Amino acid sequence: MPPLSDGRKAIRMSATLSDEVLISQALAGRQTAFSMLVRRYEQLAFTLALRMVKNREEAHEVAQDSFLRAFRYLPDFRGESKFSTWLYRIVYSTALNHLRKQRPEILSTDDESRPLKLPDMTVPDASRQLELEERRMTVQQAVALLSPDDAGIITLFYLYEHSLEEICGIMDLTMTNAKTKLCRARQRLKVILEQKDYHA
């Protein structure tokens, strides 16, 4: 696998090339093209891994392993979904495998729930930025207390703004199961937020 970064030139080029172009170049043997893809998605991959394994060192390991797997299996990518969806499915699967080996007892089951209205993080009023940052930190701390499955689906839906269809592909779920898991994860998050005296 090529190094994770090829310098400022790669940064400039990666901003102008589509995933499809970079994938084609990587498959043609251009190592820097895959490095550009890694640079484009490494922070998002790390964030998803961290939400699930809840340990920065282990999250870095999961993200690195995920990119190694993505590089190895890139010839199998058929473009039937977005590259990001395919990659996040690898990250999700790698994180679950890591958890099963390290902490199998923390993988959870679901229960019924109702939707949660998450706080608005886009209000432009500068006078509210401190309040918004405090809310954001509260939500992040609450997500960190969720099970890996719950944290994963909340992160994919709200942070990465993936559709339920894309989440089905990442988490290998039916639409019905995805809706149920998201609904239950929302409820668990709501309970944690209420316990922190923050009402969404």
> Tens digit of pLDDT for each residue in 100-116?
887 655 444 343 333 33
Mean pLDDT, rounded, for 23-31: 92
pLDDT of residue 138: 77
Neighbours of 109 (CB within 10 A): 7
Q: What is the 3-state secondary structure (H, E, C) of the chain?
A: CCCCCCCHHHHHHHCCCCHHHHHHHHHCCCHHHHHHHHHHHHHHHHHHHHHHHCCHHHHHHHHHHHHHHHHHHHHHCCCCCCHHHHHHHHHHHHHHHHHHHHCHHHCCCCCCCCCCCCCCCCCCCHHHHHHHHHHHHHHHHHHHCCCHHHHHHHHHHHHCCCCHHHHHHHHCCCHHHHHHHHHHHHHHHHHHHHHCCCCC
For residue 121, report the phi and psi dihedrals to the nearest 5 degrees: -100, 10
Contacts of 132 (CB under 8 A, 6+ apart): 119, 121, 123
> What percent of the chain lies above the pLDDT cut of 70?
73
In this prediction the pTM is 0.66
Give all domains of the chain, ordered by start, each with its CATH number. 8-106 (1.10.1740.10), 126-195 (1.10.10.10)
pLDDT at 167: 92
Q: Which of 38, 29, 28, 40 shows the shortest CA–CA distance to 4?
A: 38
pLDDT digits 0-9 by tens, 166-181: 999 999 999 999 999 9
> What pLDDT shows up at residue 132?
58
Tokens 């490494």, located at residue: 42
What are the pLDDT digits (tens) for 69-83?
A: 999 999 999 888 889
Neighbours of 175 (CB within 10 A): 11
